[in-house]
Every structure is written in structure tokens, then in C-alpha cells.
Structure 1
Amino acid sequence: MAHWLLIIFLALFHHQAHSQEELPTNYEYYTNNGIVSGLSANQSDFLLNGKNITILSGAFHYFRVHPNYWRDRLRNMRAAGLNTIETYVPWNLHEPYSGVYDFGNGSSDFEEFLDVEKFIKLAQEEDLFVLLRPGPYICSEWEFGGLPAWLLGIPDIKLRTNDSIYLSYVSRYFEKLFKIIAPLQFPNGGPIIALQVENEYGNTWNIDADYLKSLAKIYRDNGITELLYTSDPVLGVGVQGALLGELLVTANFNSNAKGNLDYLKSVQPDKPIMTMEYWSGWFDHYTENHTNNLVPLSRYRTVLEDILSYPSSVNIYMFVGSTNWGFTNGAGDATYGLNNSGLQPTITSYDYDGPITEQGQLTSKFNATAELLLKYNPVKTQLPEPVPALDPIKYNSIEIKEQILLSELIDEYPSKIQSSNIIPMEKLPINNNSGQTFGYIVYRKSQLDLNAGAVLKITGYVRDHVLVLLNGKLLNPILQGISDLDGFGFWRLENSTIILTNETVKNATLDLVVENNARNNFGNLDQFQQYKGLIDNVLIDETILTDWELVPLEFRRSWNQQLKGWHNITNRNVPSLYRVTFNVSSVPVRDTFVNVQFWTKGILIINGFVLGRIFVVGPQQSLYLPAGLLQEGQNEIIVFEHFSAPTHLEFSEEMIYGLHY
């Protein structure tokens, strides 16, 4: 299907090709007499360097796409007729530990994804302007909305407020970021034409104009001179998250374009109209039916035309489908409370049903977008031909022969942390006192004497999934489907209990292995005071346990690549790591998908990098594996499986969806 869509588009493109060479590029048109001014919103239409511009943008998050594909995706966006791209900037990746930064050369696990300067310059090379959304909070269905989890370890901090403690950390980070960003603004010869302040602050229902003013001042104090704006679902929250008269107000929606844009016009009668997020599709939470979140082409096209004909500038969110690598998926919370029972983790895939898929294929929405932009953009400029994505390949099935039991891994962990009481991930004295952000935390209690029928009780709520091992034996019931999430081991159940033994046991070792499934990325301010692991007392027969050993299983790349102790498989029905190796000989190396529908719950690691999550409940049943994470020759895949493993690792040529009830 994708090939036919590309053929149709190329035919339309070549129909226009005879006049393309006579047209200016985007940059030539807006800079041909030199650069005098940046983007202005001081009148009813946007002016860029004194010329009218309809901003035609698409969202493309550099940190969610392998950098080998940055240029191809950018070129295809330009080929569709866009003149601008938009991206968030994730604070939690760029400052993974307090005072430790990575902008593409910081040696973190995400180093290769984080060269934001290179990405912005590539956008300019591909004839595109840039809308930048630095946050500090970005939402984006991203872990903790892009906020660093180490902030939670700072006493008395009040996130996303005018709190001086919080703002001091924001200011420190923005000083580093804006040293890179400020020279890339349009008046300095770069592509950045506007920047967003915070993100959908109206959704917090906390009216705090001073906070937004403080952020804007930090921007200005660090050399940001271009247009600043806010964005909100305005028909739902009005302008309570905006600074009318100081920052341009923009709207986010996927229906009722006229109602939303009329509202913008009513509150800003003499300003340009901008749809900052027109949602091209939607994302999936685990346990949701994927097809329920698809947006039909007819509806997508109708609303987009309503926006363009209004007329309004637009940013299509998302334009480029992408991936929540590793542990970076965010979560919603259906209860809007702190008890964790309503946690709704987002899946690893962030395909979003947009014009360009997660794997880079052009969809029917791409063609519809190109036709409408050609129709409604009065400024005609040169457009490149689209770059076709290579079809993914299905590698051969691999028999799984090697294993490390989770209990063995914990036994051999070199530096266990001693703690009198239960503490959450974020307060561990590791990573230069930045705590633990991603992965699993083990709470080990040794030398236990247990009576027959001894009952373990975890008070409050698990955050978010716990495996209970007694002397290395898994006690949890095996996860079968969605209904099991209401039972022991998962976040929905309050004050959960499990029988540890039916007979007397002396000198036993108890391990509680807790997985962070995602921190909330959306909601009111209370939603951002959250911790992972365990935060409440653990009891056996109503006696509170103390004196724990804690093990932070972060699954960082350097650690994953040096795992030792692999042996032949002894038991497939106990929490374990499994390893396979395989050779890639195709040149160029091709994308693939790993079929995970025969696994239960866990993570998959490729050549040391955590690719994504496995969760049998669905809807996602395969993981996109881009060629850039593979290498010619030998490759290694490790799967950490919580429950039960299959005999073979399988691949696929496409994404697989399905639910297990």
C-alpha cells in the first residue's frame, strides 16, 4: 500500500516539476534581501522578516527517532509542503542526573539521540523553520512529562510553580540549553522562529501567571529574542494557562476547528491565529484497543481543511510517528489522584496514526496533507521529492538457549544499599545523589524465619508492578491478560497480600522486585508528586519489616553489555534474562520488528540499549527495531522476562497489535 501511495504522490509532484526550478526555496523567499526581523505576531497575520507567512508545521521529536533517519524524515516533511517543523526538548534526557548534561556528547545511554543542535541545523539544511518547545515540562506522553525524576529527591520542591527552588534548577538547565539554542534563532541566521513557554499549563487548573512570567524572563535573560507563545486546549481550559497580551495564545484540538479558532480570535482579536497541535491521530495506553484510537482519513482531512481555510497556521501533531525507547513512555492517571490505582501507562510505540509511520512509511494522510497545503499556501516554493523508506525485513527465528535467573543477578549485584526503611527509587543514594530514574528496584530481606501460612502485605499501592521471590522462587500468579491487573502484583490493588509459604521456613531470603511502568505525564500539580518502587510499609503477619538491602536494576547500556553468568536454560517459568545472538549480513542493514506476542512481561535490549517494553495484555505485540541500532555482523538481544519465556525469538515485517483479556 505504501508503495502505491508514494507512486501517486510522485506523479502529483512531477506534474508540478516543470515549474519547481523557477521557484525560490523557503529560505530564499524569506531572506532574499537579508534578515531584518524575526517572526512577528503584532498584527492579524504572522510576518517573518516583514513578509506574510502561514506557518505550516509538523511535529517531529528528534529524541524518538534514530538519528540515521533525521534527514530523511525532515526531507519528507518538506516534500509534503510544510515550511516548519516542531519539536519538544526533553529535560530528563538532557540532564539525566543533577548537574550532568548530554547534548549529544554526554555519554548517556541516549547520547546518539540528543544532538539537538545537529537536528535543528539539519532542519535548516532541509529548508524548514523550527518551532521549539523547551518546556521545562513537555507532556508528550513522555516519562514524567520530560521532568527529571531526580527533582523528586529535592526537599520541599514544588514542581511547575513559581517556587524558587524549582526555578533555580530550571534556570540552571535552561542556561546550558539556551547557549546552544540562542545562536540558532532566525535573526541570527538560524531556523528557530518561535519558542513555547511551558506546555498546556491550563490543564493543571493552577492559575499562576507569575510562574509563566518567571519562565519567560529566564528565556529572555538567556538570549532568546524570538516570539514566545503558550498552547492549550482552549475550549476546555480557556486562557487560565496563558499570559494574554504578553505571550501569544495558541490552540490544541482535533475537532471543532471553527469553535476553537473563533475563541482564539475573541481573546486575541488583533493577533494571528495558530493551531499549535492539530492531532493527526492518537496514542495507545496498555489494555486499550489500538483501532479505537485511529483517526479516519476523511475526518483528518476535513478538520485540516477547516483549519487552513479559516485561515489559521497549523502544526500537525504528530507528523512523524516515533518510539518511546526503553523506559521513556509516560502515563496518564484515570483517578487524578496520588494512590496510583488509575495509572495508564503508554505503550512503547508512538506511531500516532500520522502522515509518516514509526518506521518511516508515507501514509494516505501524507498525500492528503500535501494536496491541502498546495491548495492553501499562497507562497509557492521549491519542494524536494520524498525519500521512500526501505521495507523492513523479517530475520530468521532464533532458538533461545542462554539464561541468567533474576535471583542469580540479584545475588551477584556488587553494591547493595543498606536501608532501615523502605524508600522509593528517586531517593536512593546513587548517581551522585540523583536517585534512580528508570528500570527496577529490588527490596531484599534476608534471614527470615517464616511460619506456615505467613502473609506478606504491601500497604498502599505498588508503583507499579512487583515480583515476589522467596529463595528465588516466584510466588506471583502468572499474568494471563487484562483482568489479572486487578489482582496481586499490579498497581490497581490497595494493601495487597500474598501467602509466602505453606510450611515453616528458616533463614529465608525475600526479594520484592518492583518495576517503574511510567511516571505520569499529564494532569494537575498533585499528579507530579509521585514516586516509584515502594513508598509504604511492608509487613509479614502484621509486623513491619525493616533493615533492607536495596538493588537498583537500571539496565544501563554499559551494565547490560558486561553481564556475566549466562548458562543453559534450567527453568523458563521464573523471572530471568534470556540471550540470543544473530548475524546481520544485508547491506544496507534493514529495519525489522521483534515479535513479542509469545512473551509475557518485561523489556527487550538490543546491543545493550533498552529498546522497549513487553506486556502481553497489548495492544502492542511487536517492537520496532531500526537499522541504526543493529550492526553488520553479530548482534545481541537480551530479554528480561518476568514470568514465562518461549523457546524462540521471532521477528516480523510489520507492527503487530492485539489484546489479551
Structure 2
Amino acid sequence: MKKVYFILLFNFFLLPSLTAQEKQTFAINDGNFLLNGKPIQIHSGEMHYSRIPQPYWRHRLKMMKAMGLNAVATYVFWNYHEVAPGIWDFKTGNKNLAEYIKTAQEEGLFVILRPGPYVCAEWEFGGYPWFLQNVPNMIIRGHNAAYLAATKAYFTELYGQVKNLQITKGGPIIMVQGENEFGSYVAQRKDISLEEHKKYSAAVFQQLKDIGFEVPFFTSDGSWLFEGGALPGALPTANGESDITKLKIVVNQFNNNQGPYMVAEFYPGWLDHWAEPFPTQTPEQTVRQTKKYLDNQVSFNYYMVHGGTNFGFTSGANYDKEHDIQPDMTSYDYDAPISEAGWATPKYNALRELLKTSETPAVPEKMPVIAIPNITLNKVVDLADLKSKITPVIEDNPLTFEQLNQGDGYVWYSKKFTQPISGKLELKGLRDYAIVYVNGKKVAELNRYYKKYDCEIEVPFNATLDIVIENMGRINYGSQINANNKGIISPVIINGETITGDWEMYKLPMAQEPDLTTYKNSGKINRPALYQGTFTLNKTGDTFLDMRDWGKGIVFVNGINIGRYWSVGPQQTLYLPGCWLKKGKNSIVIFEQKNETIQKEVKSILTPILEDLKPEKGL
């Protein structure tokens, strides 16, 4: 068996490099993957274009090739490209999917495309645009006209970008996935019949075929979930399946008693949540399982080979009964073979030793890493000063983010009282994190993760109640994906009384770096604040901002939101790519929600801190 494998691998690497002018064939037939009629195995790694700065794409793809891989798999993130209803962006920076695919081809890698429409991926809303929730009669991931019209529009726009990049057109795309882990959703939504579920998945799959994809299709599910997720006409692949015998039995059952056999998500690490331990897997474990696949002619895709970073507000959340929500961290390091910053890890080196051949290229040089002298913060502005320049939306009851036509960031809810009231404040519909103030004084932090939805409160005569709420990422996995509104989604109750009348709502999406030029220093302890500073560099390179002295918030560098931080960890640093820095003057703005002390500076360090877990105070 080993001899057969190495012959196949040798034949694969003897094939000429694929150029944009060459049209080749890729097929699934006679129990094999066939490239130009010859059997091959797929040794792929998952790597998402949206989680890597565009200037680093080629470096990361070279790292994959040097590890011994022959393909890259990527999800396509619908909400990354439909930036507003009917407004599409496939060209700007990291959004240039076609360029990513072409770069992969130039580096000698085939591409496996995973367009969803649902992707999970620890990504905001599992890839769905937040505004779909405002469409009347739409049920996400269900067989209904409004939803299927939206998926068709998305697939049509996507196909226009990638149609000429299929292997049949001289491109590198060899396979396309139909839906994603749908068997898991079927298992979670027992309130919907299997027949209705299948009606939906078949309709979406038909849309992919109808718009013109010519390459083979596949599905991707846990091996025990094929009944709900497998689709006629698509190769079933088993996520996370380490038992070769079981893998072959279940694939045979749903694929006419034959292979090929593939694990489309082989986990060399695992995903991370705020306030929970950082999960790891030893190199030896990953190598041992890889060798099993190699010895048994099983194709595989490492999920992830390189995770990258959830820049901005792109991280999602899992739903969990214990916590209601498990928000995903900014770092998507995943304990992957290639680290968040693109470094070769011991796991990478061990896998390279197993996978490399005489044709495998050398490992590319590591990107430069620099230490930035401590950055002085010369201005701190109370968030209330920015709020004062915003015209509020006024309604009798608090509105959700979606009702306010806002996707991400923060909303400041404010209510003036002419009569005193005291007792328990209940905010059962909190989505997701709130700080509560009375007359500008902080009285409580409420938090969906810790299921802290109430506090004691005393509101005197002619007082103002302020509740500043953060959307920590919409649920990306599970049955609650259709319950993804943010902000305040239920009545605000004090001492058993529903508080109505003239709620003022100030929208703070933080879509761009706040301009603090005209504002004076006004920041106060225990009030949300924005810090501003500049720093000068004579050379650029990657670095990590050390946020261990900070509470909770986001950081902009040169206008780019590099992500969230939170003192609970385990992530205590933010990866700052050198390609986003400049020789000369650079700017930084930090929005600090808790602001328990006035900060004077922010530091950088040369290595990330991803395993420092700290309990949240008072919870």
C-alpha cells in the first residue's frame, strides 16, 4: 500500500505546473481523484484570504507549498463581499478573491472552493450578511423564497469572479463544496423534518450547478451525520474522522460503495474562545494521524494549516447552554502548523519532514519582526463627547442593532427619568456585553457569556440611565443561528416595571477609525474612552501589541481595525502586520470600554501571548 501511495505522489509532482493557459481535467471516477486521467491524492491546507493581509498572501501560500501540500482550501465569506444590500466588493484589498486564487496557482497549488452559503468558520454570523435578518419572511438556512433568492444572488456574483478560474478553464479550482456541515444543522433542528431539510440543501446545491460550476462537488460533515448532509451527485467527505475503517464504511454507504476517501477538515489544532483555555495538539499527534491517512490513500485538508486573524469585527461566536454565547477571539492561530504571524512551528517542521519530496521548495524566510518603542498616548477622549455629535434615534422601546440598520460595533442606549426608581435592573435580552451608568457613574457590567443579566440599581430624580452595549460577534454555529439580533432585544425592567418612553439610541458602529482631531482631553476613570497616539518608525515589521494592562476594546492602527482585546484572555496581544505600518509617522487609536485606569502608553512585544487566562473581576 505504501508503495502505491508513493508512486501516486511521485506522479503528481512530475506533472507540469498549471498555468492560466493550460486546460486540464479533474474528475472523481472509479473510486479515485483523477488529474488528467491519472490518480492523485489531495494534500490540502485550509487558509482564508480574509484572515491574512493581502501583501502576505504569497508568503503564506509559499509556506504551504514548502510544507509539502498540493492544494489550498478556502471558504468564501458572503458577508465579506456583500457590504450592504446589493453592494458587492470583490476587488478591494483582502476582498480580491480572484487574485488570491490566481496567486495560489502561481505558487503551484490547486484550489478547493467552499462557498457556503453558510460557512461557520468562527466567522461573524457564519458568513451571512447581518441585514438578511431584516428581510421579511426570510428564514436563514431554510427552504423559503426570500432566502433562496438571496443565495442565488450571492452565488451569481461569486461565479462571475471565479468562473474562469476553474481547472476546465485553465485555472486552479478543482472542487466546489455544496453547503457546509449541513448534517450538524439537521441534527440540531429536530423541529424541522428531514424531508424539509433535504428540500433546502438540494435547492442550494442546484443553484450552484445551475450557475455554471463545472468541477466536481463534495459535501463535508461528521461521519455520523452523512444522512442529513450528503447530497446526490456530490462526494461525501468526513470531517475530523481519524478511524480509517469507519471513514471508508460511511463514504461507501453514501457513494455507491466506493471512494475516493477524504477528510475535508483534519484538525491539527482547534478554535479558541475568550475566557476559555487555549486548546493545543502536539506535533506528534498530528504527524501520527497524517501518516495514517498517507498509508491508507486518504486525501485530507488540514483545517487550519494557517488560521490568521479575525481582524476588525469579523469574529463570530458559538452558542452554548452554559454560557449562552462563546465569543471567538481575534487571534485565529488555531494552534495550526503555520502560526498566526506566518511562522513555521515545530508542528510545521514535523509535517514537512513527512510530506516533502525532492520537488518540495525551501521554506521561505520569516517576515521581519520589530519591537516598537513604547507608544505614548497623548489624548484621551470620553466616548460621551463623540456621542454628543450623533443624532439619536428615539423610540418608546429600545431597538436592536438590526432595527437601527447597524451591523457591528456599539450602541449607546440612554433614558432620562423624571421620577426615582430602584431595585433590580433586568436585561434578559442583552446581546452581548453592557456597561451600565447612572448619571455618568458606572454601576455594573452585564455580560451574556457569564449569564449576568441583572444588577441592583438606584436611579434618583431627574437622572439618566446609560447602557453602552457591544456586539461581540453573531453566532456562527448551531441551532441559534436564526436568533442573531444584537443590542437590547427584550424589555428593560427595573423593580418589575417595564421601562418605556423616549429611549435615545446613539449608533457607534466604529466602522472607521474615530477622528479625534477636534476633541480635547476629557477621559475619566470608569468611563468609556478613546486614546490617541503616534509613533515613528525607521523600519517596518510585524509586531504584537501588549494589551495586558488594558480592559476591553478595539485597536486601530493607521486607520485599520486590527481587532478586539479583552483582559480575560487567553489572548493578551494583538498581531500587528508590518505591511500595515509605515516608515515615518504612524497613528494609533484605542477604544477602551472599561477604562479602569487612565493609560499613558501601549507597548509592543516580539512574541504573542495566547495562553494567559484570567478571571473577569466580580463575575
Q: Distance in 2 between matches of 1:317 and 1:254?
A: 12
Partner of residue 458 from structure 2, selected from 500, 504, 526: 500
Change (3 A) 1:405 1:257: farther
CA contact (8 A) 2:130 2:402 kept: yes
* Paired AA for residue 438 in structure 1: D
Q: Does the 8 Å contact 2:413/2:504 carry over to 1?
A: yes
Asked if 1:143 is matched to 2:120, the reply is no
Q: Which residue of 2 aligns with 1:567?
A: 520
> 1:448-495: per-residue Cα shift (whole Å, max 9, x none)?
2242x6246234231101112233332226xxxxxxxxxx44454365
Query: What are the superposed Cα offsets for residues 408-462 of structure 1, whole Å, 9 maximum, x if unpaired?
Result: 221122x32222322211122xxxxxx211111121223x2242x6246234231
Q: Secondary structure at the match of 1:400?
A: strand
Equivalent of 1:238 in 222, 226, 231: 226
> What is the rounded CA distance, in whole Å, between the counterparts of 1:240 and 1:86 in structure 2?
23
The yes-or-no answer on 1:43 pairing with 2:37 is no
Render the CA deviation track for 1:328-374: whole Å, top value 9, x for unaligned.
111111129xxxx5211111100111111111111122222223224
Q: Is 1:440–2:413 an aligned residue pair?
A: no
How far apart, CA to CA, are the structure 1 residues paired with 2:329 and 2:119? 18
Q: How far 1:553 sits from its partner (Å)? A: 0.8
SS of the equivalent of 1:52 reads strand
Cα 1:374/1:261, change in 2 over 3 Å: farther
TM-score (norm 1): 0.85
Partner Cα separation in structure 1 for residue 331 and residue 14 of structure 2: 32
* One of 294, 297, 317 as aligned partner of 2:280: 294
Q: Aligned equivalents of 1:32 and 1:650: distance in 2?
A: 46
What is the 5 A alignment of 1:21-32? 28=16
Cα displacement (A) at 1:150: 0.6
Pair 1:489–1:75, CA change in 2 (3 A)? closer
Equivalent residue letter for 2:145: S
The equivalent of 1:12 in structure 2 is none
2:487 paired with 1:533: yes
Question: 1:460 aligned to 2:416?
Answer: no
Cα distance in 2 for residues equivalent to 1:347 and 1:86: 22
**Distance across 2 between alignment mates of 1:30 and 1:630:** 35
Instruction: Evaluate the alpha carbon distance shift between residue 214 and residue 570 of structure 1 in structure 2; reply closer, same or farther with a 3 A threshold.
Output: closer
Aligned to 2:418: 449
- Asked if structure 2 preserves the Cα contact closer than 8 Å seen for 1:139 and 1:146, the reply is yes
State the 1:204 CA deviation.
0.6
The 8 Å contact of residues 209 and 242 in structure 1, kept in 2 or not, is answered as: no
Aligned equivalent of 1:383 = 360
In the TM superposition, residue 582 of structure 1 has moved relative to its aligned partner by 0.6
Paired residues, number? 593
Whole-Å Cα distance in 2 between the matches of residues 619 and 119 of structure 1? 31
- The aligned amino acid for 2:280 is L
What SS does the corresponding residue of 1:603 show, helix, strand or coil?
strand
Q: How does 1:209-220 map to 2 (within 5 A)?
A: 209-220=198-209
Query: Sequence identity of aligned pairs in percent?
Result: 35
2:301 is aligned with 1:315: yes
Q: Is the 8 A contact 1:465 1:514 kept in 2?
A: yes
Q: Does 1:418 align with 2:394?
A: yes
**Residues in 2 aligned to 1:348 and 1:130: alpha-carbon distance in whole angstroms:** 26
> Which deviates the most, 492-501 or 268-277?
492-501
Deviation of 1:512 (Å): 1.4
Counterpart in the other structure of 1:578? 531
How many Å separate the matches in 2 of 1:633 and 1:217? Answer: 53
Letter in 2 for 1:496: D
Q: In the alignment, residue 575 of structure 1 is paired with which amino acid?
A: P
* Whole-Å separation in 2 of the counterparts to 1:48 and 1:324: 35
Deviation by residue 1:77-115 (Cα, 9 ceiling, x = unmatched): 1122211110001111100211111112xxxxxx31100
Displacement after TM superposition at 1:257 (Å): 4.2
Aligned to 2:604: 651
Aligned residue type for 1:231? S
- Structure 2, unmatched stretches of 5+, are 1-9
Q: Distance in 2 between matches of 1:550 and 1:523?
A: 30
1:370 equivalent in structure 2: 352
Distance 2:112 2:227 in 1: 21
Question: Contact (CA 8 Å) 2:24, 2:167: kept in 1 or not?
Answer: no
Distance of aligned partners of 1:256 and 1:546 in 2 relative to their CA distance in 1, 3 Å threshold: farther
Does the CA-based 8 Å contact 1:255-1:303 persist in structure 2? Answer: yes
Distance 1:440 1:196, change over 3 A: same
Kept in 2: contact 1:419–1:547 (CA 8 A): yes
SS of corresponding position for 2:527: coil
2:21, 2:183 → 1: CA distance? 40
Residue 498 of structure 1 and its aligned partner are, at CA, apart by 3.1
Compute the RMSD of aligned alpha carbons: 2.3
Aligned partners of 2:105 and 2:17: how far apart in 1?
14
Aligned mates of 1:598, 1:412 — CA distance in 2: 30
Corresponding residue number in structure 2 for 1:432: none
> Could you tell me which of 141, 146, 153 is aligned with 1:165?
146
Residue 24 of structure 1 deviates from its aligned partner by: 9.1
Instruction: Give 1:119's match in structure 2, choosing from 100, 116, 122.
Output: 100
Distance across 2 between alignment mates of 1:343 and 1:175: 33
The one-character-per-residue Cα deviations of 1:528-568 (angstroms, maximum 9, x if unpaired) are 322110011113441422222222211112xx253344333
Equivalent residues of 2:139, 2:147 under 8 A apart: yes
Residue 155 of structure 1 deviates from its aligned partner by 2.0
Structure 1 position 343 matched with structure 2 position 325:
yes
Gap change, CA 1:294 and 1:118, over 3 Å in 2: same
Structure 2 Cα separation of the partners of residues 556 and 648 of structure 1? 24
Cα distance between partner residues in 1 of 2:500 and 2:584: 50
CA distance in structure 2 between the aligned counterparts of 1:156 and 1:135, rounded to whole angstroms: 21
Residue identity opposite 2:362 in structure 1: E
Seen in structure 2, the aligned counterparts of structure 1 residues 253 and 171 have a Cα distance that, compared at 3 Å, is same
Task: Give the aligned partner of residue 136 of structure 2.
Answer: 155
Change (3 A) 1:30 1:387: closer
Structure 2 residue matching 1:527: 3-state secondary structure? helix
Q: Which residue of 2 aligns with 1:393?
A: 370
Report 1:188-267 matches (<5 A).
188-205=169-186, 206=189, 207=194, 208-235=197-224, 237-243=225-231, 245-253=232-240, 255-267=242-254
The answer on 1:406 being equivalent to 2:383 is: yes
Q: What's the counterpart of residue 469 of structure 1? A: 437
| Structure 1 residues 616 and 33: CA distance shift in structure 2, 3 A | closer
Contact in 2 for aligned 1:253/1:277 (Cα 8 Å)? yes
- Structure 1 residue 58 and structure 2 residue 45: aligned? yes
The runs of 5 or more residues in structure 1 that have no matched partner are 1-21, 105-110, 429-434, 478-487
> Structure 1 residues 593, 26: CA separation in 2 closer, same or farther (over 3 Å shift)?
farther
Q: Distance in 2 between matches of 1:25 and 1:310?
A: 19
User: Aligned equivalents of 2:210 and 2:99: distance in 1?
Assistant: 24
- Residue identity matched to 2:336: G
Distance (whole Å) between structure 2 residues aligned to residue 26 and residue 170 of structure 1: 40
Task: Name whichever of 23-32 and 623-632 sits farther off.
Answer: 23-32
Closer/same/farther in 2, CA of residues 252 and 581 from structure 1, 3 Å limit: same
- Does the CA-based 8 Å contact 1:30-1:49 persist in structure 2? no
**Equivalent position amino acid for 1:449 in 2:** T
- Cα distance, 1:585 vs structure 2: 1.4
- Work out whether residues 321 and 357 of structure 1, in 8 Å CA contact, stay in contact via their aligned partners in 2: yes
Deviation at 1:221, TM superposition (A): 1.9
CA distance 1:633–1:572, shift in 2 (3 Å): farther
Q: 1:407 is aligned with what amino acid?
A: A
Distance in 1 (alpha carbons) for counterparts of 2:474 and 2:396:
26
What one-letter code is carried by the residue in structure 1 that aligns with 2:560? Answer: F
Instruction: Confirm or deny: 8 A CA contact 1:307 1:314 kept in the other structure.
Output: yes
Contact conserved, 1:467 with 1:514, CA < 8 A, in 2? yes
Residue 391 of structure 1, CA deviation: 4.3
* TM-score relative to the length of structure 2: 0.91
CA distance in 1, matches of 2:498, 2:146: 38
| Contact 2:447–2:453 (8 Å) recurs in 1 | no
Which amino acid is 1:442 matched to?
W
Classify 1:491/1:301 alpha carbon distance in 2 versus 1 (closer, same or farther; 3 Å): closer
